[in-house]
């Protein structure tokens, strides 16, 4: 090649592509395909997939420390700001009426967090395999993936395991988006047709006063017993108070729409930037992905098993499927429960009943993060 053209050639993508970058671009394309064609949580998968493509463009450095996505990642994810803003938006979007009407669903939300603590042990056990060296703080940050709550996973990892933050963020949001694929087989395996066909009674009416007092009650309990969870619980309850107070419609609308939409776009791109080949194709990252899948499956299973216990205790009045919604992927898990229930009985609408354990799972994952932060972070 002529010496005058060599610098030009070396500046092209063709001269700099690695097999890892091509592979990760294809994975990014697969995520976009799932978002557009299969409609698997497009709000998450589309920006994550596109961020993966951008971060693997050779020479450009878009996902590096001095690239656009690198700056977004540092400002929003490393600092933990994005998760807190997301929690405010989730609070503003969420009607806690189902949980208030059925307070016993807190048990389902708590049971679904069991996968977090099982996976903590699993992460420590991986240290017996050469190439893994997870500390207790690392294992705690990895385990929270089992709650299927991306913002909580990012928040905890930013404080306990900043060096693993990228891999944990990718795993947490990937499994959140893949709820429609992962959960149904587990739900069908653990229940029979009779249990899946249970039609639950209509929820009681919840007054406005109850809904206004609820965020204060949750925040007060957090202040008294687990202040380490206050950043997450505080923003969640603040967003919910904006919604339920009825006097700040503009602020509530902004939290539900403009703020959470902008943050979701930036967060998705930033998470996708950690799908670059040099960051992702490592033994440690693949181990975290495996543990995250294990944690999520265990959380789903324990939620359904608690639902089966309630089914027996109540004499068949509780549909065990709603236990799967105890993971805090709101409202994805509740929609999946409703879909699986309709497969058995076309007149069985479980969405509102599943929202009780679903929003309980949001609180449960924040509480679990607070417990881990208090014990390990302290």
Cα–Cα distance measured from residue 345 to residue 106, given in angstroms and rounded to the nearest whole number? 26
CB count in 10 Å sphere of residue 38: 12
**In this predicted model, what pLDDT tens digit does every residue of 179-202 receive, in sequence order?**
888 899 999 999 999 999 999 988
Phi/psi zone of residue 345: left (φ > 0), alpha (ψ -120 to 50 degrees), beta? Answer: beta
Cα–Cα distance measured from residue 150 to residue 83, given in angstroms and rounded to the nearest whole number? 8
Cα–Cα distance measured from residue 186 to residue 102, given in angstroms and rounded to the nearest whole number? 24
Confidence of residue 6 (pLDDT cuts 50, 70, 90): confident
Mean model confidence pLDDT for the chain:
90
| Residue 345: Cβ-neighbour burial (10 angstroms; 0-12, 13-18, 19+) | middle
Name 170's Cβ contacts closer than 8 Å, sequence gap at least 6.
48, 271, 274, 275, 280, 285, 289
Name 8's Cβ contacts closer than 8 Å, sequence gap at least 6.
none
Name 67's Cβ contacts closer than 8 Å, sequence gap at least 6.
55, 60, 61, 273
**CA-wise closest residue to 202 among 322, 18, 349:** 349
**In this predicted model, what pLDDT tens digit does every residue of 264-289 receive, in sequence order?**
999 999 988 888 888 777 888 888 88
For the record, the structure tokens of 210 come out as: 């109850």
Percent of the chain topping pLDDT 90? 57
Residue 203: pLDDT over 90: no
Cα–Cα distance measured from residue 183 to residue 71, given in angstroms and rounded to the nearest whole number? 35
Cα–Cα distance measured from residue 226 to residue 61, given in angstroms and rounded to the nearest whole number? 41
Average pLDDT over residues 131-137: 88
pLDDT given at position 328: 80
pTM (global) more than 0.95? no
Higher pLDDT, residue 376 or 329: 376
CB count in 10 Å sphere of residue 135: 15
Average pLDDT over residues 317-332: 90
Contact 336, 180 (CB under 8 A): yes
What's 204's DSSP letter? Answer: P
| CB environment 118-129: b (16+ within 10 A), e (fewer) | ebbebbbebeee
pLDDT given at position 1: 47
Higher pLDDT, residue 279 or 86: 86
Residue 213: pLDDT over 70: yes
Cα–Cα distance measured from residue 378 to residue 257, given in angstroms and rounded to the nearest whole number? 36
Contact 165, 378 (CB under 8 A): no
**CA-wise closest residue to 188 among 350, 344, 31:** 344
Contact 82, 269 (CB under 8 A): no
pLDDT given at position 174: 78
For the record, the structure tokens of 276 come out as: 């670059």
Q: For the ranges 29-33, 141-145, 173-177, which has the lowest average pLDDT?
A: 173-177
Token pair 């653990």: residue: 190
For the record, the structure tokens of 242 come out as: 């904006």
Residue 366: pLDDT over 90: yes
Percent of the chain topping pLDDT 70? 99
Q: What share of the chain is helix, strand, coil (3-state, %, to 5)?
A: 75, 0, 25
Domain locations in the chain as residue ranges: 29-276+284-377
Average pLDDT over residues 61-67: 86
CB count in 10 Å sphere of residue 294: 18
């Amino acid at each position: 090649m002529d010496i005058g053209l060599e610098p030009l050639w070396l500046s092209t993508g063709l001269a700099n592509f690695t097999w890892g970058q091509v592979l990760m671009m294809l994975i990014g394309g697969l995520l976009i395909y799932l978002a557009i064609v299969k409609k698997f949580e497009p709000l998450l998968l589309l920006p994550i997939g596109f961020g993966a493509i951008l971060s693997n463009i050779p020479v450009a450095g878009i996902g590096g420390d001095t690239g656009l996505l690198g700056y977004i990642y540092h400002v929003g994810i490393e600092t933990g700001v994005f998760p807190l803003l997301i929690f405010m938006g989730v609070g503003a979007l969420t009607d806690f009426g189902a949980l208030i009407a059925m307070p016993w669903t807190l048990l389902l939300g708590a049971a679904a967090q069991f996968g977090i603590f099982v996976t903590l042990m699993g992460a420590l056990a991986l240290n017996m395999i050469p190439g893994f060296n997870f500390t207790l703080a690392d294992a705690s940050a990895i385990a929270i993936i089992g709650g299927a709550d991306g913002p909580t996973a990012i928040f905890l990892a930013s404080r306990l395991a900043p060096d693993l933050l990228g891999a944990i963020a990718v795993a947490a949001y990937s499994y959140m988006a893949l709820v429609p694929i992962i959960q149904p087989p587990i739900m069908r395996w653990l229940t029979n047709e009779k249990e899946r066909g249970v039609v639950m009674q209509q929820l009681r009416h919840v007054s406005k006063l109850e809904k206004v007092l609820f965020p204060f009650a949750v925040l007060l309990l957090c202040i008294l017993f687990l202040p380490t969870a206050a950043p997450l619980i505080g923003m969640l309850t603040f967003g919910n108070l904006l919604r339920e107070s009825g006097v700040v419609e503009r602020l509530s609308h902004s939290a539900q729409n403009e703020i959470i939409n902008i943050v979701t776009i930036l967060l998705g791109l930033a998470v996708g930037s950690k799908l670059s080949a040099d960051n992702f194709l490592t033994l440690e990252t693949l181990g975290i992905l495996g543990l995250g899948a294990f944690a999520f499956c265990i959380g789903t299973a324990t939620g359904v098993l608690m639902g089966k216990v309630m089914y027996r205790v109540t004499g068949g009045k509780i549909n065990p499927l709603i236990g799967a919604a105890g993971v805090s992927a709101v409202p994805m898990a509740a929609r999946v429960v409703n879909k699986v229930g309709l497969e058995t009985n076309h007149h069985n609408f479980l969405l509102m009943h599943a929202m009780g354990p679903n929003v309980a799972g949001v609180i449960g994952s924040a509480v679990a993060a607070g417990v881990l932060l208090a014990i390990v972070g302290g």
